[in-house]
Amino acid sequence: MTQELFASYSFLLDRTARKVKHYAQQQFKFGKFDVTVDQWLVLKNLAERPQVSQTELANLVLKDHPTLTRIIDLLSKKGLVQRVQHPQDRRSFQLHLTAKGEKKVASLKPRILEIREKAWENLTESDFHEFKRILNTIYQNLDTHNGI
Amino acid sequence: MTQELFASYSFLLDRTARKVKHYAQQQFKFGKFDVTVDQWLVLKNLAERPQVSQTELANLVLKDHPTLTRIIDLLSKKGLVQRVQHPQDRRSFQLHLTAKGEKKVASLKPRILEIREKAWENLTESDFHEFKRILNTIYQNLDTHNGI
DNA sequence: TACCAATAGTTAGTATGACAAATATATGAA
DNA sequence: TTCATATATTTGTCATACTAACTATTGGTA
């Protein structure tokens, strides 16, 4: 491939990712979900994997540790998540949703799936698979921890 | 399409966009380019469209005005860009690269095209066109200013 | 002329992202 | 046991993203 041809991909990728996040955030705001898109990602993963440590959760959601620390701070200020001392390791926390957090996840989950659907109008299932394949290939091409 | 099938696209999109930016930023750092990826985007557009206003430039690079204000502040602190009063409209600036800015763009441009190429290993030209089409469709699906 | 709405840009506040360094604790080797 | 090293989390700093509110200026209109 010639260089000029694909020089624009990073711009398109970045602007689309921002549009997707921004659209979702707007919908969250109109629906008074009272969490950000990134906070939702953390809540959702925590619902699926209770009792994980911050390090494990950071790997699940692909955020670095300082970022996750701050998101957990905000979620715990909102009363949705609690840090509990790990019984063996005093450096570590086990994170879990509060009752309020569980309720939040249950009520938002279906509404958020609907919001996410909007992006795929005029696109087919095979488009989705192509898209996933290309994104994952790019990711691996640039991943220095891929063992190659 | 079923909801569960594509529920993950926003996560994949976001993680890939961050990987692309992060990879480029690492290369910028090793190469001592002394600008960030976003600062580069602004510089490049300014080289192609001299004398634009901040509002025009913000539309070109799809950044909001406060973000662009700060990027221009940083670039002008580095001596790469200058704000010049618009001769007719005292609210507005005409932006232009300094001699140092011109030199920076000329020297970095080919090196950055090389860096961008890495993402497309194992992918074809037709993958690239598919990718572009899908990204643009998603963007337009979520764009509330698309006149529909 | 006087007023008012629109426009260009900045400032302030909150959240996220990357990176470096600090703190506390745990673990393994001498 | 003691020391070196590794791990879990936090703090600090800078850059970017978005929102809202603000200043200055412009342009149209009564």
Q: pLDDT digits over B10-63, tens only?
A: 999 999 999 999 999 999 999 999 999 999 999 999 999 989 999 999 999 999
- For residue A14, tell me if it sits in a domain: yes
Closest Cα in chain B, distance from residue A35 (Å): 17
Distance A53 CA to D2 C1' (A): 30
CB contact under 8 A, B125 and A1: yes
Query: Among the residues of chain A, which ranges form H helices?
Result: 3-6, 9-30, 37-48, 54-61, 65-77, 99-117, 125-142
- For residue B40, tell me if it sits in a domain: yes
* pLDDT above 70 as % of chain A: 93
Closest Cα in chain B, distance from residue A87 (Å): 32
**Could you say which of A116, A124, A137 has the minimum Cβ distance to residue B10?**
A116
CATH classification of the domain holding A61: 1.10.10.10
Using DSSP, state whether A52 is helix, strand or coil. coil
- For residue A100, tell me if it sits in a domain: yes
Q: Which domain holds residue B36?
A: 14-142
- For residue B1, tell me if it sits in a domain: no
Distance B67 CA to C2 C1' (A): 36
B34 touches chain A (CB under 8 A): no
- Separation CA B45–CA B75 (nearest Å): 13
Using DSSP, state whether A95 is helix, strand or coil. strand
* Phi, psi (degrees; rounded to nearest 5) at A29: -70, -50
- For residue A147, tell me if it sits in a domain: no
Using DSSP, state whether A83 is helix, strand or coil. strand
pLDDT of residue B8: 85
pLDDT, mean over chain A: 92
Domain count, chain B: 1
By C1' distance from the Cα of B22, the closest nucleotide is C18
* pLDDT above 90 as % of chain A: 88
Q: How do residues A75-120 score in pLDDT, each as one tens digit?
A: 999 999 999 999 999 999 999 999 999 999 999 999 999 999 999 9
